[in-house]
Amino acid sequence: MILQVSGVSKWFGGLKALTDVTFSLQEGQILGLIGPNGAGKTTLFNVINGVYKPSEGAVNFRGVDITGMKTYEIARMGLARAHQIVRPLNELTVRDNVMVGACFGRENHALGGARVIADEVMEFVGLEKRADQLASNLNIGQKKRLEMARALAARPYLLLLDEVLAGLNPAEITRMIDIVHKIRERGTTIVMIEHVMQAVMSVSDQVLVLDFGKPIAFGPPGEVANDARVVEAYLGDPELAKQLLAPSSDESEQDA
């Protein structure tokens, strides 16, 4: 198991954002993490990569108990993340942004090696023409790809993708899904939060559904899609049902 989350709960004051979340993930798999807005998906990522310490429970990554470890320590062990709300290093060039990932990630490259990796990764996500522009000049789709590129440049064992498709137009979505497929072919394990249901279902090996911080279903996509509680969690909200039936999501990033 590359990742084991056992009995994780997280309180924010009186709000319980996660309740007793348990699952494990095998190397090379893609886990889709779905659930309505505010279900605690991003919080779960924050607990896994050490931004928050869980109130209860433990996280184990590649056989090491990483509960309570610093974010940068976890990153250096080979866990990378693309944020839901993009966080470009605005006054640095696209290349420098990607080089940060390569320099300080798992492989701890020197600048020369990092530059080679950055060029390769920028080409992979289609940002090579923007290499020398400041990150602040990118549009949203490009910024999403920059998040992805930085995470990939770290050559992680496990990649956390938080709504990388949100806010993209259909052409960009197709392109991004293609990128995810390619990453998976390289054997990188992925946890992917997504609202675009079709995308999650088509790429995931397993799907975990959160509702109000509680895991309500876990299993292969076909099973989960037919689970009564999942249907209820989603279809109880007509807005969401509509959203999920649409092939693309036009929602912006209001659910930080």
Ligand X SMILES: Nc1ncnc2c1ncn2[C@@H]1O[C@H](COP(=O)(O)OP(=O)(O)O)[C@@H](O)[C@H]1O
Footprint of ligand X (CB under 6 A) = 12, 15, 17, 35, 37-43, 255
Query: For Mg ion, which residue of 42, 49, 97, 206 counts as binding (CB under 5 A)?
Result: 42
**Cα gap 256→178, rounded to integer Å:** 25
Segment lying near Mg ion (by CB under 5 A), choices 76-84, 137-145, 175-183, 230-238:
76-84
Smallest gap from Cβ 132 to another protein, in A, equals 9
Residue among 12 and 72 whose Cβ is closer to ligand X: 12
Closest among 190, 212, 162 to 21, alpha carbons compared: 212
> Quick one: 189 exposed, middle or buried, by C-beta within 10 A (0-12, 13-18, 19+)?
buried
125 touches another protein by CB under 8 A: no
Interface with another protein in residues 129-188 (CB under 8 A): 150, 154
**Cα gap 14→21, rounded to integer Å:** 18
**Cα gap 158→223, rounded to integer Å:** 25
**Cα gap 24→192, rounded to integer Å:** 14
Residue among 35 and 78 whose Cβ is closer to ligand X: 35
Residue 227, sorted as left (phi over 0), alpha (psi -120 to 50) or beta, turns out to be: beta
Smallest gap from Cβ 28 to another protein, in A, equals 23
Interface with another protein in residues 24-53 (CB under 8 A): 49, 51
**Cα gap 246→173, rounded to integer Å:** 13
Smallest gap from Cβ 111 to another protein, in A, equals 5
Q: Looking up tokens 């938080």, which residue turns up? A: 162
Residue 76, contacted partner among ligand X, Mg ion, another protein, none, CB below 5-8 A by kind: another protein
The answer to whether 252 and 86 are in contact (CB under 8 A) is no
Compute how many other C-beta atoms are within 10 angstroms of the C-beta atom of residue 187: 9
Interface with another protein in residues 51-80 (CB under 8 A): 51, 70-72, 75-76, 80
Interface with another protein in residues 96-115 (CB under 8 A): 96, 99-101, 103-106, 110-112, 114
Smallest gap from Cβ 39 to another protein, in A, equals 22
Residue among 16 and 106 whose Cβ is closer to another protein: 106
195 touches another protein by CB under 8 A: no
Count how many Cα atoms sit within 13 Å of the Cα of residue 242 in the half-sphere of its side chain. Answer: 5
Residue 39 backbone dihedrals phi, psi, to 5 degrees: -75, -15
Compute how many other C-beta atoms are within 10 angstroms of the C-beta atom of residue 58: 14
Segment lying near Mg ion (by CB under 5 A), choices 41-49, 63-71, 146-154, 168-176:
41-49
Residue 207 backbone dihedrals phi, psi, to 5 degrees: -130, 135
Length of the chain: 256
Which residues sit at the interface with another protein, rule CB under 8 A? 49, 51, 70-72, 75-76, 80-81, 83, 87-92, 96, 99-101, 103-106, 110-112, 114, 150, 154
Which residues sit at the interface with Mg ion, rule CB under 5 A? 42, 84
